[in-house]
Structure 1
Amino acid sequence: MSLLTPLGGLPYPQPSDAANIPLHLQSLAEAVDGRTVLRFADQVSLDAKVPAPVAGMLAFLTTPKQYVYYNGAFWAALSPAPVLSGNSGAGTTTSTAYVEAPTGSTATSVSFVAPSSGTIQIALGARVSNSVASASGYVSAIVKKGTTVVLAAADARSALATGTGLLSASTQFQVSGLAVNTAHTVTLAYKSSATTSTATFANRFLTVTSV
């Protein structure tokens, strides 16, 4: 009958055990296997391969490049760090409804796994101007889980500037109630206050921090 190490609980044979080296090595390898950093393509693959996880297990998910650990109830992100994106290019829009990709530029977005709290802090901003002195440009954010919008862009959650001068504008806000340990994306969204004016956005940034 194998004994167990006092700290890790790893099995090792006693002198009186049958001399079966392959069996003893297998027992040790299986005991160590669940204590290493497991590697899987995504959460679905992890759940399929480890249907009965043990508290303390650690895994790395290739998508979305995140370490997770099993806390005894679910797989949670391990010390999630802020994720950020910047876009130095300039884009324009005359739309009075929020658009994700302004004309002449690309969309700015970040991907993250919702933490165990289900809450994140979003910080965003840009240098904003408008072709009409009395008109404004707005930059907000859209939060999605897959293709489903869980929080739409809104004026109340936007940074804005009014006038023809290029002004720096920024804001930040919390988002709660996200599906825990699930991949999400946040994408900047832009609009002009009037279809008769052109809003310009440059030097855009977006940061998502787990709370």
Structure 2
Amino acid sequence: MALLTKLGNLPYPQPTDAADVPLHIQSLAEAVDGRTVLRFADVATRDTKVTAPVAGMLVWLANPGRYFHYTGTQWHPIAPGAGHKANTSTGTTTSTAYTETLTGSTGDLAAVTFTAPPSGSVLVSVGARISGSAAVACLMSANIRTGTTLTLAAADVRAAIVSGTNQCSASTQFQVGGLTVGAVCTATAAHKSAATTNTATFTNRFVTVTPLT
């Protein structure tokens, strides 16, 4: 009867065991299989192959090209770094409600897609060079979504604010908690003017999302 190693619980045969080398190698290979860095093409392939993951499992996914570990409840990226998205074009708005699109702006939205970390909390930073056509506040915040559901709307208390016609660089940070661990989320820049008579101008906009432990 095979015994198990003290640390990894890997099986090894005893002198009294039947001399079945293929069987012994198979037993060892199966025991080692779930302890190595598993490699798969994508999430779907991983989930098809690993139907009963255990805490501590480590996998590499070619798409998106990252390592993930199993926490016991979720697959999560190893040491996820901050996500950053910038848009250097200039856009304007006279909307007094937060809008994600700006007149004249080109390229993608200033939006960061991220996976909610095990803590369920991230730090969101937004900023831009901002100016107005009048001495009226121009504000930039961010909408937070889990999937397509808006979970935290842009708000003045979470906004970078510039008042006046001089172009100024402004930024702000705010913490977002209570996110569903492992969920795919987005943080998208949102902008507004404090009055429809004021044209708010934004350029060099950015959004950065930093996972918190």
TM bucket (normalised to shorter chain) is: 0.7 to 0.9
Normalising by structure 1, what TM-score?
A: 0.86
Question: For residue 140 of structure 1, what is the aligned residue in structure 2?
Answer: 141
For 2:5 and 2:93, how far apart are their aligned partners in 1?
Answer: 66
| 1:119 lines up with 2:121 in the alignment | yes
For 2:144 and 2:47, how far apart are their aligned partners in 1?
Answer: 25
Question: For residue 183 of structure 1, what is the aligned residue in structure 2?
Answer: 184
Aligned residue type for 1:107: L
Aligned residue type for 1:68: F
Gaps of 5+ in 1: none
User: Which one is further off, 60-69 or 20-29?
Assistant: 60-69
Secondary structure (helix, strand or coil) at the match of 2:6 reads coil
Aligned residue type for 1:199: A
> Equivalent residues in 2 for 1:21-36 (5 A)?
21-36=21-36
Cα shift at 1:11? 2.2
Is the 1:64–1:112 Cα contact (8 Å) retained in structure 2? Answer: no
Count, aligned residues: 209
Normalising by structure 2, what TM-score?
A: 0.85
Question: For residue 92 of structure 2, what is the aligned residue in structure 1?
Answer: 92
Aligned residue type for 1:7: L
Aligned residue type for 2:86: G
Task: State the Cα deviation string for residues 128-165 of structure 1 (Å, max 9, x = none).
Answer: 011x2222221110111111111111111110111121
Structure 1: which 4+ aligned runs deviate by more than 6 Å?
A: none
> Equivalent residues in 2 for 1:1-211 (5 A)?
1-39=1-39, 41-42=42-43, 46=46, 49-61=49-61, 67-103=67-103, 104-105=105-106, 106-130=108-132, 132-211=133-212
Cα shift at 1:51? 3.9
Percent pairwise identity: 55
Cα distance change of structure 1 residues 109 and 65 upon mapping to structure 2, 3 Å threshold: farther
For 2:91 and 2:19, how far apart are their aligned partners in 1?
Answer: 73
Cα shift at 1:46? 4.7
Cα shift at 1:185? 0.9
Aligned residue type for 2:128: A
Note the aligned Cα RMSD (angstroms).
2.3
Cα distance change of structure 1 residues 27 and 209 upon mapping to structure 2, 3 Å threshold: same
Cα distance change of structure 1 residues 134 and 62 upon mapping to structure 2, 3 Å threshold: farther
Gaps of 5+ in 2: none
